[in-house]
Amino acid sequence: MRLINKNVILLFIYRFGFNYPAPFNLSYFWNFGSLALLCLVFQLLTGIFLAMHYTPHVDLAFSSVEHIMRDVNYGWFLRYLHANGASMFFIVVYIHVFRGLYYNSFTYPRQWLWFTGVVILLLMILTAFLGYVLPWGQMSFWAATVITNLLSVVPFVGTDLVYWLWGGFAVDNATLNRFFSLHYLLPFVILALSFIHLIFLHEFGSNNPLGVALKADFIPFTPYYTVKDLFGVVLFFIFAGAFIYFAPNYLGHPDNYILANPLVTPTHIVPEWYFLPFYAILRSIPDKLMGVIALLSSIVVPLLLPLYLKVAIRSLLFRTFSKILFWVFVVDCLVLGWIGGKPIESPYYEIGQFATVFYFAYFLVILPLLNSFERFLMQYWYSYYYVK
């Protein structure tokens, strides 16, 4: 019995630990999965220590953040690490997602890996929004007011849903308490989903830059990719440290250092930079209900990719047209992020509408048509060179 238990433990370590077999040709773009887990751990740890000194009350929240910055030993470091860590987390995850799109890592048999990854991204967005409200600055308060009001578009019960979420008739103390509780809870849900994500990864194996199934060319994850990941971690710490130590407020908004005032509306209400592409999609549609539907659809559409897109060749390295349009799509997302921080006026409004149309067209029209066209080219090439 003892021998059986030992074998089970060794098998678990082999399959789900650091020594599982991995393709021999993984590039540094595969480092961002482990970096995302590292960011999650840092956010959890710094968040727990910050919660020890934070007070979720509208009269004390802003001053408690200043207390952390000025009076708590290394409190400034914890807060800057947590705030900038959120930005680093999204940078890493966005690159991770774009890598999955480039190499079509969402196709069979890894569709469940993709599903769990997109759900993790959704929870990250929700958690980051809840955390953005906690400092109780001007931008925190008004961002909460604007975003929570989106629930009012729900027919018949929209207004009641907004009041229920607020815990009253305005964003106030009950709202702040609820947001703090959820912001503390959701990272642990994300951590649990991350382990499920890893289980699916180790069950079906990693995709590779060639996009083909490698039957025999596998190497142990340790030491080959462990060392590679450590090198990526060092570079990541250098990049993140540049913001934390030399430009800690560069990615934030200066209005959030002003105490929340319900009587004074900021000139431009903008969320954090990692929400700007979705915020631009919301503002690009003049109808409020359609704007909310477009906002939700912009996150849900990538989730549906494995259901309607079946590709013969995964990697875009061998698909010229798809590769070109993929980079056009990346530029389109950057344009949406730029537009999201601009006022709603010409020409930003028109550019945002065009970028929004291209965003949805890429997933729903361009990718299926390109896939069919490239299949046709493959069949034509095969029949011309081999059949004849």
Which residues are part of a known binding site for a ubiquinone?
202
CA distances from 245 to 38, 81, 133, 254, 292 (A): 19, 9, 24, 18, 38
Angle between helices 276-283 and 348-361 (to 10 degrees): 100
Q: Which of 140, 206, 298, 322 is catalytic?
A: 206
Q: Using CA atoms, how far apart are residues 225 and 300, in angstroms rounded to an integer?
A: 32
* Residue 272 annotated among the catalytic residues of the structure: yes
Q: Which of 67, 228, 323, 342 is catalytic?
A: 228
Q: Which secondary structure element, helix H or strand E, spans residue 22, and what is its range?
A: strand 21-23
Q: Which of 105, 229, 315, 322 is catalytic?
A: 229
Annotated binding site, which residues? 82, 96, 183, 197, 202
Q: Using CA atoms, how far apart are residues 73 and 54, in angstroms rounded to an integer?
A: 14
Q: Using CA atoms, how far apart are residues 372 and 23, in angstroms rounded to an integer?
A: 29
Q: Which of 272, 298, 332, 374 is catalytic?
A: 272
Residues 219 and 22 sit within 8 Å (Cβ to Cβ): yes
Distance of CA 78 to the CA centre of its chain: 22
* Residue 253 annotated among the catalytic residues of the structure: no
Tell me the sheet residues that pair with 23.
218
* Residue 57 annotated among the catalytic residues of the structure: no
Q: Using CA atoms, how far apart are residues 119 and 300, in angstroms rounded to an integer?
A: 9
Q: Using CA atoms, how far apart are residues 291 and 183, in angstroms rounded to an integer?
A: 26
Q: Using CA atoms, how far apart are residues 296 and 298, in angstroms rounded to an integer?
A: 5
Q: Using CA atoms, how far apart are residues 17 and 221, in angstroms rounded to an integer?
A: 9
Annotated binding site for heme b, which residues? 82, 96, 183, 197
Tell me the sheet residues that pair with 22.
219
Q: Which of 34, 87, 202, 253 is catalytic?
A: 202
* Residue 202 annotated among the catalytic residues of the structure: yes
Q: Using CA atoms, how far apart are residues 37 and 22, in angstroms rounded to an integer?
A: 18
Q: Which long-range contacts (CB under 8 A, 24 or more apart) does 291-298 make?
A: 292/150, 292/153, 294/356, 294/360, 295/150, 297/360, 298/359, 298/360
* Residue 229 annotated among the catalytic residues of the structure: yes
Q: Which long-range contacts (CB under 8 A, 24 or more apart) does 363-371 make?
A: 363/301, 363/302, 363/305, 364/301, 366/325, 367/305, 367/309, 367/322, 368/308, 368/309, 370/319, 370/321, 370/322, 370/325, 371/309, 371/310, 371/311, 371/322
- Just list the catalytic residues: 202, 206, 228-229, 272
